[in-house]
A and B are shown apart, each in its own frame.
Chain A
């Protein structure tokens, strides 16, 4: 298993005993920063919730806290079920795609990998309309079916919800799993080739343990994202049977003005994600492949024609599934570009500033929390996924209200909320890599006295760079495309690009809105590309 290991008696796999001799950093500034960050995140989530609960208590006095009706329970069931299906299917479909990308080298591979980030970054309405242009009643797929004399496909229903969630999350899953593949050092594949291991044996010995370590976390992130789905689930779900907890929360705020119910549902949502996070962190143990010397990976086990065909098909299908709706957005948007109002540009600038500021704060928090390597810290970092931005926004609104006019704080609060919302993704990307760096190089670094900033500068950051680039790109693009709380706080002068796009739609200006969506897509993707490219440029430099 381990080519440089000298002991002759039966080659046991890398002994767990040795890994345990590396002490986790329970002390020191690194661990402290991580715990402070986790504490701050918890506060930023708990305080708004508490503000709503407190307000609820003063608003409707004497009403019991928990009083979920049958409709709420149905919403809870549907929410869990669609999130579970979406997470499982996205994750499983991502495996062959990630494997194909991991073991093939072809022109445009870098571009495909970058593109894998894109659909995830679209505002919901844009992505849904693009999906419908492909899978909807008059979409490309149904046109094809009709031409072939086949019955048409109806997208609305649970399968439509899952389809859209897979569209949103497959790219993320592919990237997270690909990261796992790339963490298997080239030396292991070399050894496998030397031993003449067949692809099935390579899978069992090298890839399966990696997948075991990677898939639970990947599935968890997607599960949590889908748990707070609202517009996608309702629009494609086809009716009130597709009511999610998030919609019930929205209803509580806007339709019933029942703060107690809103807060109760928010707490349930939070508990679900916290529970799922604990389970997944428990299953997803680090794989322990030992360290390599950063040699470029060559795969000797995957040269056969059937495997090439399978990989080619996986990449082509995934790319097609993601690219065709994107192409629709681009084509529709070009016509709208000439109709864009001048007010779009200040909004675009606002969005860029929010995006860059949120990227900076998210990366600082995620880095500190990833380096702390504590389960509770990591769980805390995943919790924001579970808090609906409506709850967060409303809670922050209540907190800010006695202090200042909410509109004056619209942009800082948008940065804060985007930071919280992006943190789970960034942490999910950084934490496994940081853990691996410590497992592989921690002992040498301890021995040489690499501590504090020197360790960060000379060991952690350089080895973390590809993950940092990916996480930063994702954060920037997420913040760029987020509608989120700005709608709750903004005054007309402080719009962001997605809000401005939504306003265009509300004013019947569908074409201009499509143009704005294209601008948004281009900027999100551009930001993602720049950061991701920066990270990957360091990988083999």
Chain B
């Protein structure tokens, strides 16, 4: 019996070695499309790893985490690509992820100390509007103005959650008052970013909750310089998008290699014009032309992960109560 088991083990080992190892990467939907960075990441990593990269997608970052939690230890995922700072607290609590072992010279406006989650891009949330439209410079100025805004629901979208935490960090206990003051500026609340941005482009509102990098798309891809993002005096909240290796992966080394690769030149130089975000490590050639025109907020805001996780539910309730009237 023992010989048989050893023989079977050897057989399986040689088979595994003979096959190309497969790295399964869970990511959000838009990252893996032909317009996102997915194809570049896959092609470039496969050049060096001797492996086969497979993307599996779920709607957005929140859906991605839900799916991983549903699958638990049974997941086929080796790496998840596309969680963000708002989800990191819940992700860390789930215990599904392993320390990355990645080191890189990040060009983030904040210090990055987390050992599990590897940032691959980042951006500032901002209200985006037209260059000839209203351009308030703070939440208070916005609330006092007639400017109309479309925002996303924090319960179903990443920018929505970002906005919630932004107001909370900037105003603390005064956040409910800010929301009440903003109530008459808010045209509507959409389930996701696409709906909100679509409404804005249709002219339903003066401003939309998006990213400072949104105008870059219009400028670079459409040669349209009419969109601008607003820097707020309170500062602008940040979103850092991260990747992590699953603790349950059967390819920990390959997963680590992939995470390290994400911070490298090949991926980072593709990020600005595919994911329309700032790269986590500035590429050697710098940022693409057009990025220099973007609004750079004076104050980056980002709640520490644990604090954001703790503040989330109460902030949501304040938001709901203020806007539900």
Contacts and interface: CB of A to CB of B under 8 A. Distances in A.
Given A136-B202, A487-B59, A506-B29, A238 B156 contact: no
Name the 7 nearest CB pairs between A and B, nearest first: A507-B35, A251-B155, A506-B30, A138-B203, A254-B62, A505-B194, A241-B324
Interface string A500-538: 001111111110000000000000000000000000000
Contact of B194 (A125, A132, A343, A398): A125
Interface string B55-77: 11111001101110111001010
A407 interface: yes
Given A125-B198, A509-B35, A510-B198, A488 B59 contact: yes
Interface stretch (B104-112, B182-190, B245-253, B260-268): B182-190
Given A234-B189, A235-B195, A239-B324, A55 B70 contact: yes
- Which of A136, A235, A243, A343 has most B Cβ within 10 Å? A235
Given A231-B191, A239-B186, A255 B62 contact: yes
Contacts of B29: 487, 499, 503, 506
Contacts of A231: 190-191, 195
Interface string A247-285: 100110111010000000000000000000000000000
Contacts of B317: 71
Interface of A: 55, 71, 74, 125, 128-129, 132-133, 136-138, 156, 230-231, 234-241, 243, 247, 250-251, 253-255, 257, 341, 343, 394, 397-398, 401-402, 405, 407, 487-488, 490-492, 499, 502-510
Contacts of A255: 62, 154-156, 161, 316
Given A238-B187, A240-B320, A510-B201, 17 more contacts: A55-B70, A125-B195, A132-B199, A136-B204, A235-B199, A239-B186, A239-B324, A255-B156, A341-B34, A343-B33, A401-B70, A487-B58, A488-B58, A488-B63, A491-B54, A491-B55, A510-B197
A55 B188 CA distance: 35
B319 interface: yes
A282 to B, nearest CB: 36
B276 interface: yes
B32 interface: yes
A405 B221 CA distance: 37
- Which of A125, A137, A240 has most B Cβ within 10 Å? A240
B97 interface: no
B205 interface: yes
B121 to A, nearest CB: 15
27 contacts: A125-B195, A129-B199, A133-B202, A137-B205, A138-B202, A138-B203, A231-B191, A234-B190, A235-B199, A237-B188, A239-B323, A239-B324, A241-B325, A247-B153, A250-B191, A254-B66, A255-B155, A341-B34, A343-B33, A487-B63, A488-B58, A488-B67, A491-B54, A491-B56, A503-B35, A507-B36, A510-B197
Contacts of A254: 62-63, 66, 155-156
A138 B59 CA distance: 31
B120 interface: no
Nearest to B42: A492
B195 A236 contact: no
Nearest to A402: B74
B315 to A, nearest CB: 12
A74 to B, nearest CB: 7
Contact of B70 (A243, A394, A502, A503): A394
Contacts of B195: 125, 128, 231, 235
Interface string B300-325: 00000000000000001101100111
A508 B276 contact: yes
Interface string B113-157: 000000000000000000000000000000000001000011110
A491 B55 CA distance: 7
Given A241-B323, A510-B201, A236 B90 contact: no
Contacts of B56: 407, 491
B176 interface: no
Contact of A71 (B67, B183, B320): B320
Interface string B73-116: 01010000000000000100000000000000000000000000
B166 interface: no
Nearest to B29: A503
Contacts of B319: 240
Interface residues of B, number: 61
Contacts of B272: none
A325 to B, nearest CB: 12
A401 B189 contact: no
A492 B32 contact: yes
Given A74-B324, A407-B56, A492-B55, A503 B187 contact: no
A509 to B, nearest CB: 7
Contacts of A509: 35
Nearest to A252: B155
A253 B58 CA distance: 13
Nearest to A78: B324
B237 interface: no
B45 interface: no
B33 A235 contact: no
Contacts of B218: 508
Contact of A508 (B153, B183, B217): B217
